[in-house]
Amino acid sequence: MLIGAHVSPAGGPAKAVERGVEKHCRAIQIFNQNPRAWKPTVYSDEQVAAFREAMARSDVDALLIHAVYLLNCASDDDEIRSKSLTSLIASLRAGAALGAHAVVLHPGSAKAGEVRPAIERAGATIREALAESEGCALHLENTAGTGGTLGRSFEELAALFDAAGGDARLGLCLDSCHLFASGFDIRTAKGLSSVLDDCIAEVGPNRLGSLHLNDSQTPLGANRDRHANVGEGELGDDGCAAFLSEPRFEGLPCVLETPGEDRKGPTAEEIEHCVTLRERGLAARR
C-alpha cells in the first residue's frame, strides 16, 4: 500500500512532490486548479518536466489529482454541467501529462431532484470527458450520502459506471469515512471484508483503484462527511488498522485527507502512525 497525503501544489506540481517527501509520503494527491474558481490550470512543458524529475528523485510512487468540489456533473443547470465538463477534461489532461495514477471525482449531486435522471446526466458528462481525453484513469469516489449526492451505495456507483459507458479507464476510489457515514460498518477486518465482497459484486472485480483514509467524526450511518484524524474518530485505531491492512488494497495509493492537528492537513507523524497501524493490522491477520 502506498500511504500518503493530500498536499498543496502551490508554486507548481514539483513543489507538491517536495511537500510529499517532507511528510514521508509514498503517494500524493493535489487539486490541479484553484478549488474555489472554475478556471482550469494548464501546466507548461517546464512544469511537467520539473514534476517528473522531482518524482524520479523521490520515494513518491503515485499521484492522484482530485477534481475540485465545484464540479457537479449531474447538475440540471446546463451552465454548471458545461463548466464541470471543461474542468474535468482539464483534470484528465493534466493527469495524462503528469503521469497521474488517476483523477478522483465526486460523481455529482441530484440536489433535491430525482436520482436516476441525475445519474444519467452525470454519466453523459463523464462519458464526454473521457472521450475528450486519453491516458489517465478516472476514479469515482463513494460519498457519505449527504443530501442528494450520488455514489452513496455500491448500486449507485455501478449505475454511474454503466451510465458513463463502462469505459475501462473508469475506476473506484473508496473513502473510509464516506463508507462509514453511509452505513457500512468497516471497523473490523471481517466487517470490511464483507463490505468489499458486496462492493466487488456490484461494481465488478477490476474497478477498485485508489483509497482515501479518513476517520469519521460522526457515527455509523450519519450521512455526514466529517473527517477526523486517523484513530481519533468513530473508526479508531482498530478500524483504521483494518482498512490499512486489507489484502485487496495491497499496492493501491491510499491518501489521507485528515484535518491535522492545526487544520493544515496530514502530518508526517500521522502518516508514520498509519504505517504502524498497517503493521499492527497485518500482524492481527496472520
Q: Is 238 annotated in some ligand binding site? A: no
Average pLDDT, whole number, for the chain?
Answer: 96
- So what's the pLDDT on residue 221? 96
**How many other CB atoms sit within 10 Å of the CB of residue 285?**
12
Q: Where are the alpha helices (DSSP H) in 67-148?
A: 78-98, 115-131
Q: Is 273 annotated in some ligand binding site? A: no
Q: What are phi and psi of 131, to 5 degrees?
A: -70, -30
Closest by Cα among 17, 117, 22 to 62: 17
Q: Is 45 annotated in some ligand binding site? A: no
Amino acid at 276: T
Q: What is the pTM of this model?
A: 0.96
- So what's the pLDDT on residue 262? 83
Mean pLDDT of 30-58: 95
The CA distances from residue 189 to 118, 244, 257, 285, in Å, are 34, 10, 22, 8
Q: Is the pLDDT reported for residue 133 higher than 90? A: yes
Closest by Cα among 94, 182, 101, 93 to 130: 93
Q: How confident is the model at residue 261 (pLDDT cuts 50, 70, 90)?
A: confident
Provide the b/e sequence for 135-146 (b: ≥16 CB within 10 Å): ebbbbbbbbbbb
Q: Is the pLDDT reported for residue 213 higher than 90? A: yes
Q: How confident is the model at residue 119 (pLDDT cuts 50, 70, 90)?
A: very high
Largest CA distance in the chain: 54
DSSP bridge pairs for 272: none
What's the Rg (C-alpha) of the chain? 18
- So what's the pLDDT on residue 189? 97
Q: What are phi and psi of 103, to 5 degrees?
A: -95, 135
- So what's the pLDDT on residue 253? 98
Q: Is 139 annotated in some ligand binding site? A: no
Cell numbers given for 129: 470527458
Q: Is the pLDDT reported for residue 264 higher than 90? A: no
- So what's the pLDDT on residue 70? 95
Q: Is 66 annotated in some ligand binding site? A: yes
Which uninterrupted H or E stretch holds 242? Answer: helix 236-244
Q: Is the pLDDT reported for residue 193 higher than 90? A: yes
Cell numbers given for 156: 449507485
Q: How confident is the model at residue 286 (pLDDT cuts 50, 70, 90)?
A: confident
Q: How confident is the model at residue 208 (pLDDT cuts 50, 70, 90)?
A: very high
Cell numbers given for 143: 460519498
CATH number of the structural domain 2-285: 3.20.20.150
Cα separation, 217 vs 20, in Å, equals 25
Q: Is 101 annotated in some ligand binding site? A: no
- So what's the pLDDT on residue 263? 85
Cell numbers given for 200: 466487488
- So what's the pLDDT on residue 147? 85
- So what's the pLDDT on residue 52? 98
